[in-house]
Amino acid sequence: MTNDESLLARVFFKVKILESHGNAYEKLFISVMEKWDKGFRPVKPHGKTGDRKNDGFIAEKGQYYQVYAPESPSSKTKDAIKKCKNDFNGLKAYWHDKSPIKEYAFVFNDKYSGAYPELEAALLEIQNENEGIKCRPFLAKDLENALFELTDQEIYSIINYIPAPDKIEQIDYGAMTEVVNYLLEKQESLKIDKSLILPDFEEKIKFNGLSDQIAAYLKVGSYQVSVLYDFFERNSNAPRKILKEIFTKFYNEADKSIPEQKGKSDLVFVSILNSASPANTKSVQEAVLVLMAYYFESCDIFKEPIKN
C-alpha cells in the first residue's frame, strides 16, 4: 500500500468508526480482531445469559474484551463507568475460574475524543482491587492501530473497495443509471431548484481544506460529467433536482454528525460517498464520484468560497 493509499484507507476507516455504534461497532471490532490475532474468539450471546459480559477473548493470553459503543459517547460518561464495572464483575464471576483473566480491556468507541478521566479512574480502581489483572480502555485509535498491522488484503476486506483516481477510466453508463435509480428511491419532498453557481473548482477545494487525495477524486470525476449530462438530457428535470436535494441532505448530515477536527472535510466526503453508493464496487463508486463532482461544482455540497 502506497503512502497515498494508506492515507485514504485511514480516512475510510475513520468514517466507519465515527458512523458505527452499538452492534455495528461490535461487528467492526470483531472483524479487525479476528485478523489481528488468530487466537481471538468472539463470544456469541446465548439466550437469557447473553455473553456473560465477554464480547471476545484470547484465552492463551488471558485477554478479555467488552464493547460499549454509544451513539454519543460524550454524553454517556456515567453509563460507561457503570457498564465498565458491572461488566467486569460479571466477567470475573463466570470466566475467571475457567480461563484466568490477566487483562480486561473495556472497548469504548470514543470516536477519537479520548478516554475520559472518570473512565480511566474506574479502570484503575478495578485493577487495584484485583491483583494480577491489568485493566485498560481500548479506544478507536487502538482499533485503527490494530487494523494497520494487518496485510493490505486484510485491510481492504474490512474497509472495502477504495477508488484509485489514476485508474478511473471511462465511466460505465450502466453503473451511472444504477446509482441514479438507487438515489431516486431515497427521494423525499421535491424542493424548488436554484440556479447553479459555478465557483472556481480549485478555489473551492482549497477553501474546504480537502486533501490532495480527495481533491484528485473530484477532479477525475469532473472530467467525466459528460456521462451525467447525457443522463440528464435523456430525462426530465426532476432527477437533477431530486439528486441535488439528496446530496445536500447527505452533506448536511455528515457535516453535523462528524465533529470538528483536522481533516473533517475528507471524512465528510467519504461519508457522502458511502451514503450514495448502492454497492461497493469499482463501477458504482466511480459513478458516485462523478455525481459528487457535479454537485460539488454547483455548490450543493461543501461550502462556497467567500467572495470579497
List Cα–Cα distances, 169 to 1, 166, 222, 245, 246, in angstroms. 21, 8, 12, 28, 26
Query: What DSSP character marks residue 74?
Result: G
List Cα–Cα distances, 37 to 6, 31, 147, in angstroms. 21, 11, 11
Q: What is the mean pLDDT of the chain?
A: 87
- Give the Cα separation of 125 and 108 in Å (integer): 17
Question: Can you give the pLDDT at residue 192?
Answer: 30
Higher pLDDT: 253 or 172? It is 253
> Over 70: is that where the pLDDT of 49 sits?
no
- Give the Cα separation of 204 and 210 in Å (integer): 9
> Measured in whole angstroms, how far is the alpha carbon of residue 128 from the centre of its chain?
36
Cell of 136: 485498560
Question: Can you give the pLDDT at residue 181?
Answer: 77
Question: pLDDT tens digit string along 235-265?
Answer: 777 788 888 888 999 999 999 999 889 999 9
Q: Which amino acid is at 237?
A: N
Q: Which amino acid is at 83?
A: K
- What are the domain boundaries of the chain? 20-158, 162-297
